Amino acid sequence: MIYWFEELGREHNDVVGKKCANLGQMTRMGLAVPPGFALSLEAYRLFVKESGLAVEMEKYVQKFGDLKGQGITVFDEMSKTLRSMIESREIPGSLKTQILGYYKDLSRRLGIDDPAVSVRSAGTESRPGMFETYLNVRGQEQLLEKVKKVWASAYTSRAIAFRANKGFPIIGDELGVAIPKMVNARASGITFTVDPVTADDSKILLEANWGLGEGVVSGAESVDGFVVDKESMEITARHVGSKVKCVVYTKEGADWADVPEPMQNMPCISDEEIIEIAKVAKSAEQSLGGPQDMEWAVDQDLEFPKSLFWLQTRPAKVAAKKKVSATSHIADLIAKKFGGV
Amino acid sequence: MGQEMVKLWDSIPGFDFNPEIDLPELNSWFFDGTHSVPLLTPMYAWHWIRHCGHGSQYSAEVLSMPRYKGFTFRDHEGATYIGMRIVRDEAEVAKRTAKFKENSIPWIEDFDGIWAKQRQELVSMYDKLKAVDLDKASNIDLIHHLWDMISTSRRMWEIHFQGMNVSYAAFLLLEDLVKPYGLTSESPEFQDMFRGFDNYVFKVDRKLWELAKDAMSMGLGDIILNTPQEQVMGKIEQAKNGKDWLKKLHAFLAVDGWRMVRMMDFNEPYWLEDPSVVIAPIKAFIKKGGDYDLDGMTRKLAQGREKAIANLLAKVPKEEKPWFEALIKLGGKTGSFSEEHDLFCELHCHAVQRRGLLGIGRRLAAAGTIDKPDDIWFLNPDEVERVLGAPEFHKLQYIANRRRKRWEEIRFSQVPPVHTVRKDIQEAVGMDLLPSADAIIIKIVVGELPRVRPELKADIYGVCGAPGVAEGPAKVNMTYAELDKVQKGDILVCPGTNPAWTPVFGLVKAVVSDRGGTLSHTAIVGREYGLPTLVNTFTGTATIKTGQRIRVNATEGTLYILDK
């Protein structure tokens, strides 16, 4: 029902969802992943079954009949109802006990009371940005509430509309939940082991900002950019952005905040950190057998290199195909034309 | 029986067409109507049959053409027949293909650079030959000169085919790749991509055009227009401004005069040798009128080319664009390099050979071995070598005069387009030509076969060399010498053309050729001049008579004789 990340691997995709399986795989590969645990899809199924929600939700959805091509107001209405159905329901006793048991164990492992965690959705299919993630979640009550909110995020208007238009059942997208310890990030960023625009795979690209990774991934702010040559492992280009805003913890959760002026035009990571990140990314690319798109954070409470944590890796999506030189492509085609069968 | 065959022509030992031997070996032999009409003289055929075939084999070998080991020629009374050496064993093809890919890379990367080096090599060989003072040379020097010319000719043909094989391969590949975009090699949108190149041939044309404009402004236009060729130089010299204009003409010829009037033979002069032959193209420009704008036309075509390429590239997926563009550029060499290389290969080399051979002819004629210097065209180098050391001891009239007589009788006669064991020419082309994938033979020498569409009720069917429709009086023209008579607005009907004919393209309304495919000189130059051009009609010159009104619809491949 619930697993530590280190118990998981890519083969558990359908059990715990993609993000959890991925964090497991990364842990196995020796990447520094923040410790944490994963709620399987089965945990969600148990929740809706034992609480009687499964039947109620099915009944509610049936009233609407065929939803294909419906306007957004219908989906909004459904979303509101279904999400509040999920969020207001108690998690059945045995499941609740198990979740809290793992949280306590995590607390013990870290030596911190009520450690801050993030609560992240993990579907079996990759639907980037469709489901919710909650940052800086502390304490038992908050944890349980945010777990339900993640489950309920399978019923945002967008997610319902997506399934309706694809002809999938409205009751669907059962989610796993990843619950890693929150990194107290001084800086976070993303790393590509291939240029996603030009498909140049001789370089590693980094983007970084102060604070949490959400301050980079959202793409809203000017951030720092670095290029490392994959062969020589030297920094071949750097761009220090005017980082006016970043995402930081708030008392509950996380939010955008102003970057103090002296830090705005200062690189948020050191050269040492850049090289280390590039090295790890290169070896991850090798062991995963393809270019990667990775998320990382540098913890301000720990010392380098222990401070570097990896939050996600996935195959890099590249706009252009890998660039084969025009010459060799033409030579290929000519040879095929004149020598092919 | 074999004896019989050899007796018929006997000028190219070992290369005379012998159906009993040659047909079983390669199944089909295709007539090269593009290069051997009028039928070739023995001296030229001796060089051409050996060395051009060797050049094709050499290029197929150094490039490792996957399915093809080059062609071999046979001669039948001055008519050239081509046999293709097709690799039919797939294991061998696979091996050759791997090497072909490797060997084509330098060309794809630096076509112009490699060609520049080869051009340099050619020019320095020619310069050495030109340095020989033929009249002061000893008989032995002349034998050496003969040998040097033979090895120069052989090397010229080796160089000749490499760039062609690569650029034509690219062109054929492009033809495949544009199919999904609704284009074929006959569609105007496709052909437009290969027009308007500022190549060397065109540069020479421009100089002629300038000379024509100068002649008009210097008041010499009428003399050039109205004086017969044999008197024209004298008349110009006596005219006011005449000497000044001739100075310009000679300055031009010193650079560009090593150019044969007929590309594939030795029997017609080169420009520098007989400046009066250059008057014909200049005359053509004068007839065209003072407002004729050659530059404007090329500019327009170049713009059209850019547009056609841009239109195609706009449809090509983004990631394919870089190599597609490079491929179009490489394929474009068929329109630029292919014409330019004729100047540096055949036209120049043959002019140098003509000079040398005429020098030898003079020596033989002086010794009484032959009657006149140009009887040398009716001997072969082996026979010349046999007597040249001391010609006064020998007589060759019994060979030269017999061959000349025969050649004069048959030089314009029609010969079968193919000798084959197959059912017909279509099957022969399908089995014994197309599998070679040799674009030079498929697209130029033999050419695509016309599609006969009875519903169009045309008198003659052909292949579209350049699109368009035109109507006008036919001018059937067999040789360069007759070009003088072509009038503005005529439709030129000819066996085929070579680069020396280009100036009349500015004069005529359309061009119809007996032989040649979509990459023949006729088609390429037709495109450059924006003329409706119908090629490979097979029977054009035989069916159409000068003066008949004809309508050419090159786009659909038809020709109508309006007053039969």
Residue B515 near residue B496, CB atoms below 8 Å = yes
Residue A322 neighbours by CB distance under 10 Å: 12
pLDDT at position A211 over 80: yes
Residue A160 falls within a domain, yes or no?
A: yes
Please report residues of A whose CB lies closer than 8 A to that of B328. none
Q: Are residues A94 and A207 in the same domain?
A: no
For chains A and B, CB pairs below 8 A equal 67
Structure tokens at B361: 């002819």
Fill in the amino acid letter for B149. Answer: M
- CA separation, residue B428 to residues A114, B269, B419 (Å): 88, 37, 9
> What is the pLDDT confidence band of residue B422, given thresholds at 50, 70 and 90?
very high
pLDDT at position B29 over 80: yes
Backbone conformation region of residue A116, classed left if phi is above 0, alpha if psi is from -120 to 50, else beta: beta
Fill in the amino acid letter for B30. Answer: F
pLDDT tens for B330-366 read: 888 877 787 788 889 999 999 999 999 999 999 999 9
Structure tokens at A230: 């994959």
Q: Which residue of B has its CA nearest to A197?
A: B319
Rg (CA), chain B: 23
How is residue B250 annotated by DSSP? H
pLDDT tens for B42-79 read: 999 999 999 999 999 999 999 999 999 999 999 999 99
pLDDT at position B3 over 50: no
Q: Chain B: give the shortest CA distance to residue A129, in Å.
A: 28
Residue A321 falls within a domain, yes or no?
A: no
Structure tokens at B381: 């180098």
Residue A195 falls within a domain, yes or no?
A: yes
CB contact under 8 A, B170 and A327: no
CA dist., res. B38 & res. A24, Å (int): 83
Q: Is the peptide bond before B38 cis (omega within 30 degrees of 0)?
A: yes
Q: Which residue of A has its CA nearest to B323?
A: A326
Please report residues of A whose CB lies closer than 8 A to that of B93. 339
- CA separation, residue B419 to residues A177, B11, B20, B30, B436 (Å): 80, 21, 11, 7, 18
Q: Are residues A144 and A252 in the same domain?
A: no
Predicted pLDDT at B269:
93
Nearest to B50 by CA among B75, B24, B22, B32: B75
How large is the average pLDDT for residues B16-36?
93
Residue to test with chain A: of B59, B97, B167, B313, most A Cβ within 10 A: B97
Residue A334 falls within a domain, yes or no?
A: no
CA dist., res. B353 & res. B327, Å (int): 36
Report the share of chain A in percent with pLDDT over 90: 43
Residue A326 falls within a domain, yes or no?
A: no
Q: Is A262 at the interface with chain B, CB within 8 A?
A: no
Predicted pLDDT at A320:
57
- Select from B100, B177, B323 the Cβ nearest to the Cβ of A338: B100
- Which of helix, strand or coil describes residue B29? strand
Residue B331 near residue B170, CB atoms below 8 Å = yes
pLDDT tens for B283-319 read: 888 888 767 788 888 888 889 999 999 999 988 888 8
Please report residues of A whose CB lies closer than 8 A to that of B97. 335, 338-340
CA dist., res. A188 & res. B23, Å (int): 79
Fill in the amino acid letter for A139. Answer: G
Please report the domains of chain B, with CATH numbers, ordered by start residue. Answer: 2-91+414-445 (no CATH), 200-257+266-295 (no CATH), 454-561 (3.50.30.10)
Q: Is A73 at the interface with chain B, CB within 8 A?
A: no
> What is the pLDDT confidence band of residue B1, given thresholds at 50, 70 and 90?
very low
Q: Is A332 at the interface with chain B, CB within 8 A?
A: yes
Predicted pLDDT at B187:
80
Predicted pLDDT at A218:
65
- CA separation, residue A166 to residues A60, A79, A156, B176 (Å): 20, 17, 16, 38
DSSP letter string, B254-318 = HHH---BSSTT-SSS-BTTT-THHHHHHHHHHHHH-TT--HHHHHHHHHHHHHHHHHHHHHHS-G
**Domain hosting residue A147, numbered range:** 2-180
Predicted pLDDT at A321:
56
Last residue of a domain, one of A129, A157, A180: A180
CB contact under 8 A, B96 and A339: yes
Nearest to B482 by CA among B271, B261, B287, B285: B261
Q: Are residues A172 and A190 in the same domain?
A: no
Q: Are residues A203 and A286 in the same domain?
A: yes
Residue A341 falls within a domain, yes or no?
A: no
CB contact under 8 A, A334 and B170: yes
pLDDT tens for B214-247 read: 999 999 999 999 998 889 999 999 999 999 999 9
Q: Is A197 at the interface with chain B, CB within 8 A?
A: no
User: B534 or B339: whose pLDDT is higher?
Assistant: B534
Burial class from Cβ neighbours inside 10 Å (0-12, 13-18, 19+) for residue B39 reads buried
- Select from A330, A331, A339 the Cβ nearest to the Cβ of B94: A339
**Which residues of B make CB contacts under 8 Å with A?**
65-67, 90, 93-94, 96-98, 100-102, 104-105, 108-109, 169-170, 172-173, 176-177, 318-319, 322-323, 325-327, 330, 437
> What is the pLDDT confidence band of residue B2, given thresholds at 50, 70 and 90?
very low
User: A90 or A314: whose pLDDT is higher?
Assistant: A90
pLDDT at position B202 over 50: yes
Q: Chain A: give the shortest CA distance to residue B102, in Å.
A: 8
- Select from A329, A337, A338 the Cβ nearest to the Cβ of B323: A329
Structure tokens at A269: 């990571």
Residue B505 near residue B443, CB atoms below 8 Å = no
Nearest to B12 by CA among B43, B37, B40, B38: B43
Q: Chain B: give the shortest CA distance to residue A196, in Å.
A: 13
Q: Chain A: give the shortest CA distance to residue B374, in Å.
A: 44
Structure tokens at B20: 């009993």
Q: Are residues A194 and A225 in the same domain?
A: yes
Please report residues of B whose CB lies closer than 8 A to that of A330. 108, 170, 173, 323, 326-327, 330
Q: Please, what is the average pLDDT of chain A?
A: 87
Predicted pLDDT at B8:
44
**B329-347 burial string, b = 16+ CB within 10 Å, else e?**
bbbbbbbbbbbbbbbbbbb
Nearest to B44 by CA among B478, B516, B403, B376: B376
Size of chain A, expressed as the number of residues it contains: 341
Q: Are residues A119 and A160 in the same domain?
A: yes
Residue to test with chain A: of B65, B173, B324, most A Cβ within 10 A: B173
CB contact under 8 A, A330 and B108: yes
Burial class from Cβ neighbours inside 10 Å (0-12, 13-18, 19+) for residue B231 reads exposed
Backbone angles phi, psi at A308, to 5 degrees: -90, 125
Helix axes B321-331, B294-315, angle to 10 degrees: 150
Structure tokens at B560: 């109508």
- CA separation, residue A222 to residues A212, A215, B269 (Å): 14, 10, 75
Q: Are residues A49 and A131 in the same domain?
A: yes
Q: Is A334 at the interface with chain B, CB within 8 A?
A: yes
Predicted pLDDT at B161:
93
CB contact under 8 A, B104 and A341: no
Task: Give residue for tokens 């393209």.
Answer: B505
Q: Are residues A113 and A206 in the same domain?
A: no
Q: Are residues A148 and A224 in the same domain?
A: no
CB contact under 8 A, A337 and B330: no
Residue A153 falls within a domain, yes or no?
A: yes
CA dist., res. B20 & res. B50, Å (int): 20
- Select from A331, A337, A341 the Cβ nearest to the Cβ of B108: A331
CA A76, A77, A82, A88 dihedral sign is: positive
pLDDT at position B267 over 60: yes
Number of H helices, E strands in chain B: 23, 12
Residue A72, domain CATH = 3.30.1490.20
Residue A309, domain CATH = 3.30.470.20
Predicted pLDDT at B246:
95
Q: Which residue of B has its CA nearest to A198?
A: B319
Residue A127 falls within a domain, yes or no?
A: yes
Q: Is A322 at the interface with chain B, CB within 8 A?
A: no
Please report residues of B whose CB lies closer than 8 A to that of A341. 90
Tally the domains of chain A.
2
Q: Which residue of A has its CA nearest to B328?
A: A330
Q: Are residues A130 and A53 in the same domain?
A: yes
Backbone angles phi, psi at A178, to 5 degrees: -100, 130
CB contact under 8 A, B437 and A337: yes
- Select from A320, A326, A338 the Cβ nearest to the Cβ of B437: A338
pLDDT at position B160 over 80: yes
Q: Is A321 at the interface with chain B, CB within 8 A?
A: yes
CA dist., res. B564 & res. B549, Å (int): 9
pLDDT at position B4 over 60: no
In degrees, rounded to 5, the angle at the alpha carbon of residue B486 between the alpha carbons of residues B482 and B492 is 95
Q: Which residue of B has its CA nearest to A324?
A: B323
How large is the average pLDDT for residues A260-285?
92
Q: Are residues A160 and A247 in the same domain?
A: no
CB contact under 8 A, B100 and A339: yes
pLDDT tens for A20-75 read: 998 998 998 889 999 999 999 999 999 999 999 999 998 998 888 777 666 778 88
Last residue of a domain, one of A152, A180, A208: A180
> What is the pLDDT confidence band of residue B11, given thresholds at 50, 70 and 90?
confident
Size of chain B, expressed as the number of residues it contains: 564
CA dist., res. A227 & res. A235, Å (int): 6
Last residue of a domain, one of A180, A200, A233: A180
CA dist., res. A95 & res. A100, Å (int): 9
Q: Are residues A93 and A115 in the same domain?
A: yes
**B237-274 burial string, b = 16+ CB within 10 Å, else e?**
eebeebeebbeebeebbeebbbbbbbbbbbbbbbbbbe
CA dist., res. B464 & res. A213, Å (int): 64
pLDDT at position B21 over 50: yes
Q: Chain A: give the shortest CA distance to residue B134, in Å.
A: 47
CB contact under 8 A, B326 and A327: yes
Chain center to CA of B471: 26
Q: Is the peptide bond before A305 cis (omega within 30 degrees of 0)?
A: yes
How large is the average pLDDT for residues B494-513?
86
- CA separation, residue B199 to residues A159, B298, B341, B500 (Å): 62, 11, 10, 15
CB contact under 8 A, A337 and B108: no
Q: Which residues contact B244 (CB under 8 A, 6 or more apart)?
A: B218
Q: Which helix (H) or strand (E) holds B104?
A: helix B90-130
